[in-house]
Amino acid sequence: MDSLRYEILGPLRVAHLSSQQLRASKPRQLLATLLLHPNRFVSTDLIADALWETSPPRSATANIRTYVRALRGALQDAGLPAPIDTSAAGYSIEVGVDELDSSMFESLLAEGGHLRDAGDTRQAMQVLSRAYALWRGHPLADLGISSAWEGSIARLEAQHRGLVDSLLDLRLQYGDPAGAAVLLSDRLTEDPYDEQLWRRLVDTLVAAGRTSEARAAYSKAVRTLADELGVEPGPELEAAGARAQNGHTANWPDPGIPAVRTPEPESPEPPGPMSAPALTEPQRPPSQLPLDLPDFSGRADYLDQLRDLVCGRDPVRPPIAVISGAPGTGKSSLAVRLGHQVREYFPDGQIYLDMRGATDPRDPAGALTDLLLSLNLPDFAVPADPDRRSAMLRSELASRRVLIILDDVASASQVAPLMPGTGASAVVVTSRNRLMDLAGADPMPLDTFDDGEATELLLRVAGPGRIDRGSPAAEEILLACGNLPLAIRIVASRLAQRPDLSPSELARRLRDETHRLDELTIGELAVRTSADLSYDSLSPEEARLYRLIGHFAVGEFSARVLEPVASPAVVRRSLDRLIEVNLVQISSIDPTGKARYRVHDLLRLHAIGVGNETEKADALKDLATLLDALLAKVRRAAAALPFGYFGSLDYQGPLLAPDPQPFTDTDAIAWFDSERSSFVPAIRAAAQNGLHEHAWRLAAAWGPYLDMRAGFDDWNESHQPGLLSAVACGDRRGAAILHRNLGQLALYQDDWDSAWQHLTTSAELFAEVGDRFGDGIAAVGVGTWLRERGRPDEALVHYENAVRAFVEVGDSNGEAVARSAAASIWLARNDTVTAGRYLAEAFLLGVRRGDRHREAKVRRRIATLRSHQGRPEQAVRQLQASLAIFTKIGDDHCAAYARADLGRALVAVGDDAAARKMLLDAIEIGHRLGDRSVEGEAAYHLGRLHATTGNGDFARRYLNRAVRAWQQIGNEARVADARDQLAGLGTDLAVS
């Protein structure tokens, strides 16, 4: 099972992929649809039915393509392959039998059935037990079941019912009554009115020596039949009840089950002089569970884990579960729901104590008294000494099966005296703190709901017809609540109680962050009040850091980034405490082994609002200090990168003193890699708090790293708010820089309209502020746009203007870029002499600067020159040298282009095997980076290579891939070229 990647026999799971990485409901439904039909193409019509039932939107086909891209991206981000294939027939996911639980389930069923038919029943039982272990509940239980899935799911559930019946017979045959009881309980959840199943369960529990559970099962059977059907138990069930009462297996009706009986002490007396006297009447077991929420939903996996834990039969250690989580995650509701579900397992009572940990923690000595009195000890028998009370509680619990729920615990020391020492009793603790020092406890940290659970709670509490599943209003409300159960319950209750309040109006109110917490209040329920209780437990230094995090942490962050406002020791201690009280969570571990943190969005808003006016002002000052330090470090790291960046870096504004330990190039790349997820949130935080100069300068400052790593998503997400901030603070040069960078990004992504808008705006702004260097970089961008759009003469004019600008300001790196770009026009005109002169000058400029990255780029163009000159071997050598430099620096994006060029050059020299490898690598890297140009170019040349070697199937596959890649970026000329190549293969397989 550890090797499984995809699991649908229960809530949808993907190995190594968190719910946060695949949050959106539609990509999850798409993945589920494909997994129900593994290794087969699923038509877009069937997918549309699964995603939108009978009313798909007009844009369904385009939306499905978007969801496929999102799904592939999520799988690749988690380090998993994304084996989703596309064809005219639809979409397919390729999974092996051992990679999908339903496929493994069916394979084990077939193997077990064959073994049973062959007479090897013991081996059959082992194989079928493995199949049973794969089943985690109803298939795709966390997703709204679509009618398009009903046939597949019904087949799986029918197979499961047959498996349970087969396995039940085998376990009874081989003397495993405990295992048979588990299966019978499973069957009874589906068929609670089957009297023969109840009879078999009672007798099986008696045979397993669990007579108290057998009596409880008989009582439940009698109640179920009487309450639901109005009938009395039949003679066979009555006889089983009598056997349970007597505790023996006389007249056992199922052969092969040994009569195993574990003696159970009757009415045990606590030892010592303070033991309670014998009572004249039997005492009723305590049943103190609070009311279970009628609209409780979600948490199925947690309930399964908790039930397995507390109902376990460990003879040495009583089960202790600690449910911890942030305010509002539903810890108490989960514990109470569990208590009601397992009442029959604890016939000696269920005790509930509110430990008031967040307000006025109860004294352990008083709690001990309450527990002993709940166990029907008279008050005069309770010892005065707390240690003796604790010992008496352990003695009482050793011979009973009691469930104790200790709600809202402050610390481990508060409940340690209340723990049983041995026996079959169980304890469930809920706490805002993690209680890592509570000996013998199993931790169960609780996070927010996933999308499916959040939607289900919203619909249940709001009431039928109050809000539509999947509607824009529902999605916006859930997003504002951050899937926090308490927040969802509050807004859903408001919808239920206010028929005049429309979902869209509620969504509009929640949109305003400054008043969102005010909206999340109804009656005694309030997110702010719940969070206040945790905040009030913090020390002054912990509270200061929490307030800063509220302003800064709109995403992931590291501990290091907080150190400009406090010493590393204080930051570490404060974060440890904030994690302990679940106001901050560990989000991930970076490649260096350091933790990265996050805070729930509603807690972030809470942190912004707490404190007096002085403390709030100090939090903003701390934020500015933090951003100053971050900006200075970004600039130092960018300056240490091993290449000359072609773009404008503004070094005006706030800077700290020089770093006493300056970056090496390797250190700089490693630092950027480790802190990468901090920068976009930092820019957003700066913009949201009015620190606009910090926002745009941070966005511009990490441009070199983004260019090197082809960080297209981070590029866009940082530069868009950065541009707005530059405009907001009236910095036209800053706006010009960010327009130029966004234009460059659009060129990389073949977004031609956006590229033209950004690049021409950048040129205008640089001209207005009189920045000649900016004139040069903008001119190169505009020239490249013109060249790629088939206007080479106009492009050359801009390249020549750029050369003059860079010569004027003395920037050799820019001059090298402009000369190399101009050479591309002369090569297109087949003027190898002029092109060679430009490239020689560009190469010399790069070498003199010691800029290996620029040298590698110019070598790519020189290779094109050599090909034009009919010298393919020299072209190969130039490209090999270029690729080696890009690889050493870690520039995957430029390396992808070098690989595509080198693959084509290797074909020219007859090295087909090496060419195939280079082109395949270029396709993979281009696809991973989202650069469809290089993906299409490499696929095109690989398809042509296969065509020349007589492999028509592979030729069609890669030429079709080139068509798809170029279609996505609107390159119709290249699409037409690839289709011509397909037509030349003798069959019309072009993608429409």
pLDDT score for 312: 73
- How many other CB atoms are found less than 10 A from the CB of residue 106? 16
Closest CA to 352 of 287, 284, 432: 287
What is the pLDDT averaged over residues 930-934? 84
| pLDDT of 264 strictly over 60 | no
**Torsions phi, psi for 261 (to 5 deg):** -140, 125
| pLDDT of 990 strictly over 60 | no
How far apart CA 488 and CA 449 sit, in angstroms, is 10
Q: Tell me the residue ranges of DSSP E strands in 577-718.
A: 585-589, 595-598
The token duo for 457 is: 């709670």
The token duo for 666 is: 């390797």
Cα–chain center distance at 231: 50
| pLDDT of 913 strictly over 90 | no
* DSSP result, 409-468: ---HHHHGGG---SSS-EEEEEESS--TTSTTPEEEEE----HHHHHHHHHHHH-TTSS-
What is the pLDDT averaged over residues 377-403? 84
Quick check: 401 and 425 in contact, CB under 8 A? yes
What is the pLDDT averaged over residues 259-270? 34
pLDDT band at 263; cut points 50, 70, 90: very low
Closest CA to 726 of 742, 738, 718, 740: 738
User: What is the pLDDT of the chain when averaged over all its residues?
Assistant: 83
Closest CA to 145 of 49, 220, 222, 226: 49
pLDDT score for 380: 73
pLDDT score for 643: 74
The pLDDT tens digits for 670-697 are 888 878 878 888 898 899 889 999 999 9
Radius of gyration for the chain, computed over Cα atoms and rounded to the nearest angstrom: 34
| pLDDT of 176 strictly over 80 | no
| pLDDT of 24 strictly over 60 | yes
pLDDT score for 89: 66
| pLDDT of 805 strictly over 90 | yes
The pLDDT tens digits for 514-537 are 788 888 877 667 788 888 888 888
Closest CA to 990 of 938, 941, 955: 955
What is the pLDDT averaged over residues 410-437? 89
Window from 323-337, 339-353, 479-493, 665-679 with minimum mean pLDDT: 665-679
pLDDT score for 21: 63
* Bridge partners, 6 (sequence order): 14, 100
How far apart CA 449 and CA 484 sit, in angstroms, is 6
* Bridge partners, 100 (sequence order): 6
State the amino acid at position 343 in one-letter form: R
The pLDDT tens digits for 882-905 are 999 888 887 888 889 999 999 999
Contacts (Cβ under 8 Å, ≥6 apart) of 340:
289, 292
Contacts (Cβ under 8 Å, ≥6 apart) of 90:
41, 42, 43, 44, 46, 47
pLDDT score for 250: 40
* DSSP result, 768-826: HHT-HHHHHHHHHHHHHHHHHTT-HHHHHHHHHHHHHHHHHHT-HHHHHHHHHHHHHHH
The token duo for 136 is: 């985690």
Contacts (Cβ under 8 Å, ≥6 apart) of 335:
323, 405, 407, 428, 430
- How many other CB atoms are found less than 10 A from the CB of residue 662? 12
How far apart CA 573 and CA 178 sit, in angstroms, is 48
Q: What is the DSSP letter of 405?
A: E
The pLDDT tens digits for 556-614 are 788 888 888 888 889 888 988 888 888 888 877 766 677 888 888 888 888 888 888 99
Contacts (Cβ under 8 Å, ≥6 apart) of 896:
921, 922, 925, 926, 929, 931, 934, 938
| pLDDT of 270 strictly over 50 | no
- How many other CB atoms are found less than 10 A from the CB of residue 686? 30
| pLDDT of 253 strictly over 90 | no
The pLDDT tens digits for 226-249 are 776 777 888 888 888 888 888 655
| pLDDT of 404 strictly over 60 | yes
- How many other CB atoms are found less than 10 A from the CB of residue 352? 20
SS (H, E, C) 486-538: HHHHHHHHHHHHCCCCCHHHHHHHHHCHHHHHHHCEECCEEHHHHHHHHHCCC
pLDDT score for 266: 35
Global confidence as pTM: 0.56
Closest CA to 544 of 466, 622, 459, 483: 622
Q: Which residue has the higher pLDDT, 609 or 282?
A: 609
Closest CA to 101 of 190, 23, 30, 15: 15
The pLDDT tens digits for 954-969 are 888 899 889 888 887 7
The token duo for 259 is: 């009569």
755 membership: H or E segment, kind and range? helix 752-769
Quick check: 446 and 334 in contact, CB under 8 A? yes
Q: Tell me the residue ranges of DSSP E strands in 618-660.
A: none
How far apart CA 368 and CA 106 sit, in angstroms, is 52
pLDDT band at 78; cut points 50, 70, 90: low
- How many other CB atoms are found less than 10 A from the CB of residue 911? 15
Q: Which residue has the higher pLDDT, 177 or 449?
A: 449
pLDDT band at 88; cut points 50, 70, 90: low
How far apart CA 78 and CA 74 sit, in angstroms, is 6
**How many angstroms separate the first and last alpha carbons of the chain?**
41
Q: Which residue has the higher pLDDT, 38 or 719?
A: 719
Quick check: 643 and 889 in contact, CB under 8 A? yes
State the amino acid at position 437 in one-letter form: D
- Give me the sign of the Cα torsion angle 765, 771, 777, 779: positive
pLDDT score for 991: 40
How far apart CA 894 and CA 885 sit, in angstroms, is 10
Angle between helices 692-701 and 732-748 (to 10 degrees): 40
Quick check: 163 and 102 in contact, CB under 8 A? no
Query: How many residues does the structure list for the chain?
Result: 992
| pLDDT of 624 strictly over 80 | yes
What is the pLDDT averaged over residues 840-853? 84
The token duo for 92 is: 């397919």
3-state secondary structure of 84: strand
Contacts (Cβ under 8 Å, ≥6 apart) of 67:
24, 26, 27, 30, 51
Q: What is the DSSP letter of 101?
A: H
| pLDDT of 546 strictly over 70 | yes
Quick check: 184 and 200 in contact, CB under 8 A? yes
CA distance readout (Å), 981 to 417, 634, 740, 954, 987: 80, 48, 37, 13, 10
What is the residue whose two structure tokens read 């600039």? Answer: 635
- How many other CB atoms are found less than 10 A from the CB of residue 808? 13
The pLDDT tens digits for 752-770 are 899 999 999 999 999 999 9
**Torsions phi, psi for 597 (to 5 deg):** -120, 160
